[in-house]
A and B are shown apart, each in its own frame.
Chain A
Amino acid sequence: MAPKSARVTRNPELIPGVRKISRSKMYHKRGLWAIKAKNGGKFPHHDKAPAATPVVEKPPKFYPADDIKKPLSNKRKPKPTKLRASIIPGTVLILLAGRFKGKRVVFLKQLSSGLLLVTGPYKINGVPLRRVNQAYVIGTSTKVDISGVNVEKFDDKYFAKQVEKKKKKGESEFFEAEKQDKNALPTEKKDDQKAVDAPLLKAIEAVADLKAYLGARFTLKDGMKPHELMF
């Protein structure tokens, strides 16, 4: 439809309560006489549309004993965690908690759950492809060239625990066999680790001392004040 320009009122208010044109003049202006004339002296009248007959609902067979309150509907959609400005793909991070606390690690990408995907690289400091929470991480200003790495295939589903099929029959022997299988890391994951680490290692070896840096753990020593340190 053509855009409507802002309509100017036909009967402006001069002062509050007093309009410009009288009732009879407005009747004429609005053309109500013409509408009446078209309709043979009377104002056109439309009958009400026939009301749709309501569907007969059978009364329910069962009423619950107590009136239960319905909880209010919650349409909140949680937003993905905001990534700190200092953390960009390729940044060296210092892990602060968990098994690898103090390790310096390379950041790859942020997953859809908000967690950060991170790798040692494994050969340098033993940290595999792993998810890490942003809150337990210090972002340093050291960056590694990450352009040769393809991290498209990694998402939260990749890190989900393997679901164990229930085995009711057969006891001790079955359990031992299964335990052994589970503890060994599937070769697919090992290959993924190697594929991600290979270009990273090349980029790291290009910078002097960076390999040793990533292999060392971060510790606070005498006189170091974290709030005064620049990372």
Chain B
Amino acid sequence: MPFKRYVEIGRVALVNYGKEYGKLVVIVDVIDQNRALVDAPDMVRSQMNFKRLSLTDIKIDIKRVPKKKTLIAAMEAADVKGKWEKSSWGRKLIVQKRRASLNDFDRFKLMLAKIKRAGVVRQELAKLKKETAA
């Protein structure tokens, strides 16, 4: 099983530890065996250990250490945000965030909705069972 996601200039990664937890960043340079120079539209360009990054499938076309403006333009051109939110990994994170932000009342309404849906499914199943039995 070969590797598919490589550390390279332009690789988009997700920060999985530290102050910037949960942010999407772009690798703009490699410092040494363990660290990369990393940048995002809403943060100061800084170094990060690779262990703090989870590589994604998304890659953008940039040269080594671009200016902030160039970086933002390249991210727009590649539609990083859109690709991320459509990917299954990105969608899962969005759902997690939504669930964590639910109110007590929201959780109650969710419970009612789940019960209702289960009831509808069970009715349909019962109908199908009757048809095959008959």
Any B CB within 8 A of the CB of A113: no
The answer, yes or no, to whether B109 is at the interface (CB within 8 Å) is yes
Indicate whether A43 reaches chain B with its CB closer than 8 angstroms.
no
Inter-chain CA distance A203–B27, complex, in Å, is 54
List B contacts of A216 (CB < 8 A): 108
- In the complex, the answer to whether B103 meets A213 with C-beta atoms within 8 Å is no
Per-residue contact bits, chain B 102-121, to A (CB 8 Å; 1 contact, 0 not):
11110011001000000000
Which residue of the partner chain A has the closest CB to B101?
A230
Q: Is the interface of B mostly helix, strand, loop or mixed?
A: helix
We find that the number of chain B residues with CB closer than 8 angstroms to chain A is 9
Residue of B nearest to A104 (CB): B104
Q: How far is the CA of A188 from the CA of B104 in the complex (A)?
A: 35
Are the CB atoms of B100 and A142 closer together than 8 Å?
A: no
Count, chain A residues at interface, CB 8 A: 16
B108–A209 CB distance below 8 A: yes
Whether the pair A212, B112 counts as a contact (CB closer than 8 A) is: yes
Residues of A within 8 A of B102 (CB): 230
Contact (Cβ within 8 A) B104 A218: yes
Contact B112 A142 (CB under 8 A): no
Decide: B104 and A231 in contact? CB cutoff 8 A.
Answer: yes
Q: Which chain B residues border A228 with CB–CB below 8 Å?
A: 100
Q: A213 to B100, Cβ gap below 8 A?
A: no
Contact with B along A212-231 (1 / 0, CB 8 A): 11001010000000001111
Spell out B's residues near A (CB within 8 Å). 100-105, 108-109, 112
Binding site for B on A (CB under 8 A): 92, 94, 104, 140-142, 209-210, 212-213, 216, 218, 228-231
